[in-house]
Amino acid sequence: MPELPEVETIRRDLLSKVRGKKITGVTIPPDPRGSRVIRRYPSADLFRKRLKNRSIVDLKRRGKYLLFHLDSGDILIIHLGMSGRLLLVADKTAPPIYTRLFFRLATGKKLCFADPRKFGEAYLYSREKGHICCDPFSLGPEPLGDELSPADLSRMLAGRKAAVKALLLNQKIIAGLGNIYADESLFRAGIDPRKPAGEVTAEKIPTLLESIRKVLEESIRSRGTTASNGQYVDGKGNSGSFQFRLNVYQRKGESCRRCGAEIETVRIAGRTSHFCPRCQK
């Protein structure tokens, strides 16, 4: 599942290959099953009208969203959902299986958005019209960099009765964490994912923020997590390697690397949450 480290890895892989390149065409192949192509996207006509013959001037990331900045000032925004991949292939090569839309570039390559589960999303942002399709942005601060301080995090958790894990998954609180890194961050901080957010002690808040940053940075260095049930590959089509460094995620029944206790799972906010019952209180 592409979370912040996976999206950031893809961004870095693609940046030099798309920056300065002109989009010469947009194609949305019909789905063989006849259902929707991806979860949401502007009409094909609108896509063509606003993207064709525009150059990509930059590729940025916000939370789990990729932002293709165009020379028109428009921004093409892509969310990879659960199973999305962005791959560059030669123009003469057939698009990869499950390609939902692709952009032909003047370089002779196609930028393909493949997504078997169709949870992906594409948006346009235009200076004049604002968000086209719908507004993907009411995101909380980025956890990396200095945008988020322990005091900020403390304020956001204060008084909340929901499980701290549930709030870490809330993109309005922090942008970019998903199930894998929420679980891994809470393990490192020694916090039980079920603990009501407002009861996380003041001295634990900086530890939690530090754990979040460390986990994300380490995963970026490992080029992301390709979990056993995951579809994630980087911008070159390769798997990441952070799955070999996970402490709790998908390690149910295995022994804690720190204390040897058996890793357990519990359902929180509809998500399977992995934790060590001895290390996390």
- The catalytic site residues sit at 2-3, 64, 271
Of 236, 213, 214, 238, the closest CA to residue 225 belongs to: 238
Stretch that binds DNA, among 106-114, 124-132, 159-167, 207-215 (CB under 7 A): 159-167
Of 198, 199, 164, the closest CA to residue 182 belongs to: 164
What residues have CB less than 8 Å from 151, skipping those under 6 apart?
none
Residue 31 interacting with DNA (CB under 7 A) = yes
Q: Kindly tell me which of 127 and 161 has the beta carbon lying closer to DNA.
A: 161
* Residue 220 and residue 9 in contact, taking contact as beta carbons nearer than 8 Å: yes
Task: Select the residue interacting with DNA from 44, 53, 73, 117 (CB under 7 A).
Answer: 117
Q: Kindly tell me which of 105 and 227 has the beta carbon lying closer to DNA.
A: 227
Q: In the bound complex, what is the minimum distance in angstroms from residue 225's beta carbon to DNA?
A: 10
| 90-113 burial: b if 16+ Cβ within 10 Å, else e | eeeeebeebbbbbbbbebebbbbb
* SS3 sequence of 70-95: ECCCCEEEEECCCCCEEEEEECCCCC
Size of the site for DNA (CB under 7 A): 36
For β-strands 99-105 and 23-27, DSSP reports them as antiparallel
Stretch that binds DNA, among 44-52, 87-95, 173-181, 203-211 (CB under 7 A): 173-181
Residue 229 interacting with DNA (CB under 7 A) = yes
Instruction: From residue 89, give the alpha-carbon distance in Å to each of 107, 109, 113.
Output: 11, 6, 11
Among the residues of 20-113, which ranges form H helices? 44-51
| Per-residue binder mask for DNA (CB under 7 A), 179-208, x = binder | xx----------------x-----------
* Residue 222 and residue 241 in contact, taking contact as beta carbons nearer than 8 Å: yes
Residue 161 interacting with DNA (CB under 7 A) = yes
Residue 119 interacting with DNA (CB under 7 A) = yes
Residue 169 interacting with DNA (CB under 7 A) = yes
| Per-residue binder mask for DNA (CB under 7 A), 250-269, x = binder | -------------------x
Of 171, 170, 177, the closest CA to residue 189 belongs to: 177
| Per-residue binder mask for DNA (CB under 7 A), 70-109, x = binder | ---------x-xx---------------x-----------
Stretch that binds DNA, among 20-28, 31-39, 100-108, 145-153 (CB under 7 A): 31-39
Q: In the bound complex, what is the minimum distance in angstroms from residue 106's beta carbon to DNA?
A: 31
- 29 DSSP assignment: P
Which SS3 state, helix, strand or coil, does residue 146 take? coil
Cβ burial, residue 229 (10 Å; 0-12/13-18/19+): exposed
Stretch that binds DNA, among 13-21, 51-59, 85-93, 165-173 (CB under 7 A): 165-173
Binding site for DNA (CB under 7 A): 1, 3, 31, 33, 35-36, 39, 63-64, 79, 81-82, 98, 116-119, 134, 136, 160-163, 166-167, 169, 171, 178-180, 197, 229, 269-272
